[in-house]
C-alpha cells in the first residue's frame, strides 16, 4: 500500500516522539528510584544511629545477664514509638546472639520469635549495615533495613552489647514507582495528543505544495499550464514552489511561442507555396503568357529562396537543440565578412537610402572563430538592422579590440525595441513586430540562433534600445583559444534593456 509523504512523516515523527518519551520515562524512573533508595539508605542509617545513641543514653549494661537495662522504660518506649511513627519504619533491638530484646511495636511485635543471623551481626558489629532483602530469612518479604551497633563503656572499655535495626517495607518504593508511572502515562498521553495535532498540521502544510505540484504536473502533461502552487513558507519547500511556478510561467511562455511558431511556420510555408503553385499553374495552363514567364519565374525563385532560408533556420535550430553545432575555428578578418553580407543587402539599402557608417574600424581586425557561423551572426544582425531602419536612416558599425576580446556593435536608427519586449528578443520564435507589418518574413529564430552561436564561441551578446531613436546589438568574442574554451563552459545571463555585462 502506497503511503503519502504526509502519512510517512506523521508516523515517523510520532514514533520518534514515542521512543523519546519511553526512553525519558525509563531513565527518569531509574534515576528517581536510585535517588530515593540512596536517600532511604542514608535516612535509615541515620535513624539507626540515633536510636542506638538514645539507647546508650537511657540504659545500662547488666554484666551478669549480658544485656542492657533501660533506666526509664516509659520514656524509652515513647521515644522509640515517636521515631518509628515519624519514619514509618520498624525499630527493634537484638542482643549479641541475635535474639530480640526490644521492639518499638510492643503490642504487635512480629520479631520476638525470630533471630538475626550471625552473618548479619558480624557485618554490623563494627560499622553501619544496610540491605535490601529479607535479612537472611528474618523477614518473609523484602525490606530496606539499616543497622547500627550499640556500644557501652565498661571499665574504660567500649564494648558492643547489642544491635539496633530499622526496617521499612519495599512496597513503598513500588507504590512510588507506580505513582510515577501513572503520572508519566498521563503526561505521555497528553503530549502525544498535542504532538499528533501539531505534527499533523505541520506535515499537512509541508506536503500541501507537493500535492499541488503533483496535480499541476498531471495537468501540464495534457497541456494545461494554468495551475500555480501557493507559496506557504520561506523554506526549501517554499523555494521549490516558487521555482515550480517559474517553470510553469516558462512553460506557458514556451507554449505560447510554440503555438505562435506553428502559426508562423504554417503561414510562411503556405504563402510561398501557394504563390509558386499559382504562378507555375498559370504558366502551364497558358493563363500567364510566355512573354511574362521570366518575370514570374523570378518571383518563384525569390519564394524558393525564402523557403530555403526557413528550412536552413529550422535545421540550425535542430542542430542547436541536439548539441550538434560544432566549431571549425580559423583566423579571418571581420571586415571581409561584414562587407560580403552588406553586398547582399545592397538593393534594400539603396531603396531605403540607408547611410552605412564605421566600416573603417574593421579593416585590420582579425578573430579566431568559425567563419561560416560568424557569417550567419553578422547576416542575422545586418538583416535585422536593414529591416527596421527608417527611410534615410543609418546603420553604424563599431569595434573595440583588446588583448582579451573583440567587441562588435551594430546600431541602426528607427523605431527601436519597446522596453517591455527587449528582454525577450533573444528567445526563440519571438517577434517584436506582432502585427507583421514590417517583419513579414521573419520567424523569430534569427536572434536566438545568433545568441547560441556567440555563446558557443565563449562570448556573449546584449541589446540596447531607445524607442524611436536607435537599437544597438553588441557581441563580445574572446581573442584567445584557451579563454574561448573556458568561457564556452561558463553560464551566462541574458542582458535586459540598457544594461551591459561587466568586462
Pair (480, 401) in one structural domain: yes
Q: Do residue 363 and residue 272 come from a single domain?
A: no
Element (H, E) at 478: strand 470-478
Domain that holds residue 478: 325-488
pLDDT of residue 413: 94
Residue 99 DSSP class: B
Q: What is the CATH number of the domain that holds 85?
A: 3.30.450.20
Answer yes or no: do 309 and 434 share one domain. no
My answer on whether 332 and 272 are in the same domain is: no
Decide if 214 is inside a domain: no
Residues 404 and 255 in one domain: no
- 3 by Cβ neighbours in 10 Å (0-12 / 13-18 / 19+) ranks as exposed
Rounded to whole angstroms, how far apart are CA atoms 104 and 440? Answer: 119
d(CA 363, CA 468): 31
* 65 domain-assigned: yes
Residue 497 domain-assigned? no
> Whole-prediction pTM value?
0.44
Same domain, 276 and 148: no
- pLDDT, residue 410, reads 94
The CATH number covering residue 279 comes to 1.10.287.130
Radius of gyration from C-alpha coordinates of the chain: 51
* CATH number, residue 442: 3.30.565.10
* Per-residue confidence (pLDDT) for residue 311, from 0 to 100: 75
For residues 414 and 292, membership in a common domain is answered with no
Name residue, grid cell 585590420. Answer: 364
Give whole-number Cα distances, 91 to 122, 196, 422, in Å: 19, 52, 100
* Inside any domain, residue 226: no
Instruction: Walk along the chain (503 residues) and give the pLDDT tens digit of each residue.
Output: 456 667 777 788 878 888 888 888 788 777 877 777 788 788 888 888 888 888 887 777 776 666 677 777 777 778 788 888 887 888 888 888 888 888 887 677 777 778 888 888 888 888 889 888 888 888 888 888 999 998 877 666 677 888 889 988 776 556 666 777 788 788 878 888 888 888 878 777 777 777 788 888 888 888 787 878 776 667 777 788 888 888 888 888 777 767 766 776 676 677 678 878 888 888 888 888 888 888 888 888 877 877 776 777 667 666 666 666 677 888 888 888 888 888 888 888 999 999 999 888 776 788 889 888 888 899 889 998 999 999 999 999 999 888 888 999 999 999 988 888 888 888 766 665 544 444 444 556 778 888 988 998 899 999 999 988 999 999 999 976 544 444 444 433 343 333 344 33
In terms of domains, do 32 and 12 share one?
yes
- Domain final position from 155, 175, 195: 175
Could you tell me the three cell numbers for 426? 533573444
pLDDT at 412: 95
**What was the pLDDT predicted at 438?**
44
Cα separation, 459 vs 501, whole angstroms: 11
In a domain, 45, yes or no: yes
206's CB contacts (< 8 A; 6+ apart) are 5, 6, 9, 237
Burial grade of 77 (CB within 10 A; 0-12, 13-18, 19 or more): middle
Q: Are residues 460 and 405 in the same domain?
A: yes
pLDDT for 64: 65
Q: How many domains does the chain have?
A: 3
Is residue 389 domain-shared with residue 291, that is, in the same domain?
A: no
Amino acid at each position: 500500500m502506497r503511503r503519502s509523504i504526509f502519512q510517512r512523516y506523521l508516523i515517523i515523527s510520532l514514533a520518534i516522539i514515542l521512543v523519546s518519551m519511553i526512553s525519558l520515562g525509563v531513565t527518569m524512573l531509574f534515576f528517581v528510584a536510585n535517588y530515593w533508595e540512596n536517600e532511604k539508605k542514608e535516612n535509615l542509617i541515620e535513624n539507626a544511629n540515633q536510636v542506638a545513641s538514645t539507647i546508650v543514653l537511657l540504659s545500662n549494661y547488666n554484666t551478669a545477664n549480658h544485656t542492657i537495662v533501660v533506666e526509664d522504660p516509659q520514656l524509652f518506649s515513647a521515644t522509640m514509638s515517636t521515631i518509628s511513627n515519624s519514619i514509618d519504619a520498624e525499630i527493634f533491638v537484638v542482643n549479641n546472639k541475635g535474639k530480640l530484646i526490644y521492639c518499638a511495636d510492643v503490642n504487635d511485635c512480629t520479631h520476638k520469635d525470630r533471630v538475626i543471623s550471625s552473618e548479619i551481626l558480624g557485618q554490623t558489629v563494627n560499622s553501619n549495615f544496610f540491605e535490601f532483602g529479607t535479612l537472611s530469612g528474618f523477614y518473609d518479604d523484602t525490606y530496606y533495613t539499616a543497622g547500627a551497633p550499640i556500644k557501652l563503656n565498661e571499665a574504660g572499655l567500649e564494648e558492643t552489647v547489642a544491635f539496633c535495626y530499622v526496617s521499612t517495607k519495599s512496597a513503598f518504593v513500588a507504590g512510588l514507582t507506580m505513582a510515577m508511572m501513572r503520572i508519566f502515562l498521563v503526561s505521555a498521553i497528553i503530549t502525544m495528543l498535542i504532538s499528533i495535532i501539531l505534527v499533523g498540521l505541520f506535515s499537512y502544510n509541508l506536503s500541501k505544495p507537493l500535492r499541488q505540484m503533483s496535480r499541476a504536473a498531471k495537468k501540464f502533461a495534457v497541456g494545461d499550464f494554468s495551475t500555480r502552487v501557493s507559496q506557504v513558507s520561506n523554506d526549501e519547500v517554499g523555494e521549490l514552489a516558487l521555482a515550480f511556478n517559474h517553470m510553469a510561467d516558462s512553460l506557458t511562455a514556451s507554449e505560447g511561442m510554440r503555438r505562435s511558431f506553428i502559426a508562423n511556420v504554417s503561414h510562411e510555408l503556405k504563402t510561398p507555396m501557394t504563390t509558386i503553385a499559382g504562378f507555375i499553374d498559370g504558366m502551364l495552363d497558358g493563363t500567364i503568357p510566355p512573354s511574362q514567364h521570366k518575370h514570374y519565374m523570378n518571383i518563384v525563385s525569390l519564394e524558393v529562396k525564402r523557403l530555403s532560408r526557413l528550412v536552413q533556420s529550422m535545421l540550425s535550430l535542430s542542430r542547436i537543440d541536439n548539441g550538434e553545432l560544432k566549431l571549425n575555428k580559423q583566423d579571418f578578418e571581420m571586415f571581409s565578412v561584414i562587407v560580403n553580407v552588406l553586398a547582399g543587402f545592397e538593393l534594400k539599402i539603396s531603396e531605403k537610402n540607408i547611410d552605412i557608417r564605421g566600416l573603417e574600424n574593421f579593416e585590420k581586425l582579425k578573430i579566431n572563430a568559425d567563419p561560416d557561423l560568424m557569417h550567419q551572426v553578422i547576416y542575422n544582425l545586418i538583416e535585422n538592422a536593414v529591416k527596421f531602419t527608417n527611410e534615410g536612416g543609418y546603420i553604424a558599425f563599431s569595434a573595440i579590440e583588446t588583448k582579451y576580446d573583440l567587441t562588435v556593435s551594430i546600431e541602426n536608427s528607427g523605431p527601436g525595441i519597446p522596453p517591455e519586449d527587449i528582454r525577450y528578443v533573444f528567445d526563440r520564435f519571438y517577434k517584436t513586430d506582432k502585427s507583421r507589418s514590417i517583419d513579414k518574413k521573419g520567424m523569430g529564430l534569427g536572434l536566438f540562433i545568433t545568441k547560441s552561436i556567440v555563446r558557443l564561441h565563449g562570448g556573449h551578446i546584449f541589446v540596447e534600445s531607445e524607442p524611436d531613436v536607435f537599437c544597438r546589438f553588441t557581441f563580445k568574442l574572446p581573442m584567445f583559444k584557451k579563454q574561448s574554451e573556458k568561457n564556452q563552459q561558463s553560464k551566462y545571463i541574458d542582458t535586459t534593456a540598457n544594461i551591459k555585462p561587466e568586462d
